[in-house]
Amino acid sequence: MSQQGIVGRVMQLSRANVNAVLDSAEDPQVMLDSLVFDYSAHIAGAEQAIKQTVANLRMIEQDLKEDARAAQQWGRKAQAASKKADELRSSGRKKDADKFDDLARVALERQLTVQNDVATIQHTIDAQNESLAKLRAGLDQMKVRLTELKRKGSSRPSRPHPRSPNGNGRFDILDPSSELGRFEEKVRREEARAGGQAKLSASSLDRQFAGLTDPGNRAEIERRLQALKTGRAPATRRTAHRRSARAGAH
């Protein structure tokens, strides 16, 4: 069987036609006991995965809030530096004014970097929330399937569950145990990434200054600086793109 994500596995289990599986089984009782065992195990695994994902999302959302606040702070610093530069330039102190304009550019570069991080984190949050919704829906359906299976087995004498996950008569409908382990490992990696976000931000100064050499970044920074000087709030790249798209449509 090809590798699939945990969401795909849960959705398959939730849609599985257990009646058809039981009807085609050589020994329906053995099949029934094995299905109850499998569904119980995978429900427990899915519940744990949901808890871990929710905890991980809370941390990522906190990173998003902190980055959004940082972007606003850098914007205010850029505005203050630009204003000071204009005051110095109007009094004839061009050299000092240029220094403050350079400070404004640095602040705008940092704002741009943080805003890009915000967009990336938001995309991650959206994807995680979508997966979480599917996982919860699949979990509810698996519980319904398990209730049906237990009801079918309530009138029959149960047998000991096979010990082996892949042998000794055990029927494993999807064999997703290894996939659950990979999912949990992915969650741990995401938690480590979220926890290290502050360290990454602290070490990104060189990357931010290196971005000043990027022609696209330079143009965006100069555009934002000129917007500050003309009293207009600098639009983000995304806003500017939407505006140009609407203009093109007309």
Condensed to tens digits (0 to 9), the pLDDT of residues 152-167 reads: 877 555 455 444 344 4
Structure-token match 């808890």, residue found = 51
What are the residue boundaries of the structural domains of the chain, listed by start?
6-233
Condensed to tens digits (0 to 9), the pLDDT of residues 207-250 reads: 554 554 466 678 888 888 888 888 765 555 454 444 445 545 55
In a 13 Å sphere around the CA of 237, the CA atoms on its Cβ side amount to 17
Question: What tokens were used for 122?
Answer: 């938001």
Does the structure show a pLDDT above 80 at 13? no
| Of residues 31 and 168, more confidently modeled | 31
- How confident is residue 194, by pLDDT bands cut at 50, 70 and 90? low
| Of residues 163 and 118, more confidently modeled | 118
pLDDT the model gives residue 226: 87
Question: What tokens were used for 191?
Answer: 């938690």
CA distance to 29, 78, 177, 188, per residue, from 171 (Å): 11, 64, 13, 30
Distance CA(127)–CA(139), nearest Å, equals 18
Q: What is the mean pLDDT of the chain?
A: 75
